[in-house]
C-alpha cells in the first residue's frame, strides 16, 4: 500500500507468491525436529546430571565415606533435595562418630576412680592400717556406681538442663575435697596444688556433677603442668556469683583454640602435651562446661603467660 505526496492518490500492490512445495515443508519440519531434539537433550542433561551426582554421593556414603556431600548451588527442587541429603548426612555423621567414641568417653570418666582404687589396693597390701584402704576402695566403688548412672543420664539431661535437681551445698567444702583427691595424682607428677578459698561458699548445686567438673579441670591442669610447678586454685565470691580460677604453669594453648578446647573430643596435644603423656580423649573440659551450663554458669579459658587459666563462674 502506498500514496502520492499530497495523499490524493492511493494504491495497493498485490504480490503473488509461489505455492510452497513439498521439499520446503519437509526441510522446515526437519529443522523444527532438530531444534526440539537439541532442547530435549539439553533439558535431559540438566535434570539427569545432578541426579547422577547425587546417586554417586549416596553410594559413597552408603559404602562408609561419611564425609561424602553433594554441595550444590542449585535453587530448584533438585538443589533442595541435595541440600536435604547433606543435612541428613551431617546428622548421621555426628551420631555415628558419637557412638564410636562412647567407650572412650566412659574410659575417660572412669580413669580417675579406677586409678585411686588401684592405689588403695596396693596400700591395703603393704599398710598395716587396712581399714582406711578398704574404706577408700568402698568410696571409689560407690563413686563408680554413681558415675555410671550419671553417664546414662547425660543424654537425657543435656536436652533439658532444668530437669536436674539442685540442692544447697558448700562449694568451698566440695573444692577442698576435690583438691585433696587430686593431690595424689599431682604428687605423682611432682606438681603442687595451692588452694585459696573462703571458709564457706553456699550454692545450690548438683554436688557430684559439679565435683566431676572441677576434677576434670584440675586433672587437665595437672596433665600439662611441668614438674616442680604449682597449680593455683582460687575461689572468690561476689554478691551475685562464685568465681573459681584454676591456673597451671604449662605452655598454654594458641588463642584460636581457647574456645575449641571445650568442644567434645577436641585435643590441643600437639601444642600442649607432655612428652610422656598423650593426654585424654578431649572430653573432660567439654563435660566441665556442660556442668557449668547446667548450673546456669559459664566456663572459659585464657592464657596466663605462662600457663592456662580456666575460669568457672556460678551464679548464687
Nearest to 72 by CA among 59, 62, 87: 87
Q: Above 60 in pLDDT, residue 159?
A: no
Most confident of 95-109, 159-173, 258-272: 159-173
Please give, one letter per residue, the 3-state secondary structure of the chain.
CEECCCCCCEECCCCCCCCCCHHHHHHHHHHHHHHHHHHHHHHHHHHHHHHHHHHHHHHHHHCCCCCCCCCCCCCCHHHHHHHHHHHHHHHHHHHHHHHHCHHHHHHHHHHHHHHHHHHHHHHHHHCCCHHHHHHHHHHHHHHHHHHHHHHHHHHHHHHCHHHCCCEEEEHHHHHHHHHHHHHHHHHHCCCEEEEECCCCCEEEECHHHHHHHHHHHHHHHHHCCCCCCEEEEEEEECCCEEEEEEECCCCCCCHHHCCHHHCCCCCCHHHHCCCCCCCCCCCHHHHHHHHHHHCCCEEEEEECCCCEEEEEEEEC
Half-sphere exposure of 98 (CA within 13 A, CB side): 9
Q: Residue 68 — pLDDT band, cuts 50, 70, 90?
A: confident
Mean pLDDT is lowest, of 111-120, 251-260, 290-299, for: 111-120
Averaged pLDDT of the chain: 79
CATH of span 166-315:
3.30.565.10
Q: Is the pLDDT of residue 12 over 90?
A: no
Report the alpha-carbon angle 25-30-34, nearest 5. Answer: 150
Dihedral through CA 24, CA 25, CA 31, CA 36, nearest 10? Answer: 170
pLDDT tens digit string along 261-307? 887 656 665 445 444 444 444 667 888 888 888 888 999 999 988 89
| Residues making up the chain, counted from first to last | 316
103-159: CATH topology is: Helix Hairpins (1.10.287)
| pLDDT value for 176 | 94
- What is the tens place of the pLDDT at every residue in 166-216? 889 999 999 999 999 888 888 888 899 999 999 989 999 888 888 888 998
pLDDT > 70 fraction of the chain, expressed in percent and rounded: 76
Does the pLDDT of residue 55 top 90, yes or no? no
Residue spans of the domains in the chain: they are 41-100, 103-159, 166-315
- The whole-angstrom distance between residue 83's C-alpha and the CA centroid of its chain comes to 22
pLDDT for res 106: 67
Phi, psi for 276 (deg, rounded to 5): -95, 5
C-alpha neighbours within 13 Å on the C-beta side of residue 275: 2
Q: Comparing 103-159 with 166-315, is the CATH topology the same?
A: no
More confident residue, 74 or 210: 210
Mean pLDDT across 12-18: 58
Amino acid at each position: 500500500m502506498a500514496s502520492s505526496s499530497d495523499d490524493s492518490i492511493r494504491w495497493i500492490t498485490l504480490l503473488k507468491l509461489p505455492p510452497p512445495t513439498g521439499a520446503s515443508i519437509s526441510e522446515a519440519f526437519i529443522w523444527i525436529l532438530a531444534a526440539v531434539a537439541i532442547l530435549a537433550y539439553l533439558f535431559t542433561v540438566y535434570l539427569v546430571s545432578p541426579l547422577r551426582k547425587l546417586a554417586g554421593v549416596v553410594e559413597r556414603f552408603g559404602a562408609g565415606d561419611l564425609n561424602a556431600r553433594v554441595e550444590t548451588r542449585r535453587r530448584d527442587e533438585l538443589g533442595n533435595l541435595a541440600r536435604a541429603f547433606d543435612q541428613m548426612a551431617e546428622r548421621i555423621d555426628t551420631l555415628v562418630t558419637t557412638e564410636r567414641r562412647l567407650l572412650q568417653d566412659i574410659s575417660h570418666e572412669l580413669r580417675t576412680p579406677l586409678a585411686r582404687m588401684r592405689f588403695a589396693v596396693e596400700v591395703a597390701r603393704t599398710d598395716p592400717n587396712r581399714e582406711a584402704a578398704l574404706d577408700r576402695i568402698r568410696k571409689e566403688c560407690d563413686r563408680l556406681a554413681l558415675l555410671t548412672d550419671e553417664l546414662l543420664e547425660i543424654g537425657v539431661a543435656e536436652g533439658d538442663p532444668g530437669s536436674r535437681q539442685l540442692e544447697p551445698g558448700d562449694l568451698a567444702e566440695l573444692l577442698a575435697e576435690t583438691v585433696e583427691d587430686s593431690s595424689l595424682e599431682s604428687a605423682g607428677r611432682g606438681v603442687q596444688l595451692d588452694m585459696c578459698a573462703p571458709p564457706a561458699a553456699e550454692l545450690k548445686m548438683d554436688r557430684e556433677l559439679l565435683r566431676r567438673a572441677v576434677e576434670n579441670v584440675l586433672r587437665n591442669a595437672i596433665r600439662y603442668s611441668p614438674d616442680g610447678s604449682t597449680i593455683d586454685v582460687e575461689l572468690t565470691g561476689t554478691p551475685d556469683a562464685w568465681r573459681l580460677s584454676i591456673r597451671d604453669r604449662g605452655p598454654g594453648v594458641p588463642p584460636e583454640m581457647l574456645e575449641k578446647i571445650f568442644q567434645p573430643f577436641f585435643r590441643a596435644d600437639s601444642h600442649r602435651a607432655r612428652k610422656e603423656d598423650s593426654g585424654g580423649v578431649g572430653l573432660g573440659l567439654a563435660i566441665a562446661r556442660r556442668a557449668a551450663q547446667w548450673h546456669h554458669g559459664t566456663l572459659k579459658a585464657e592464657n596466663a603467660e605462662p600457663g592456662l587459666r580456666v575460669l568457672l563462674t556460678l551464679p548464687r
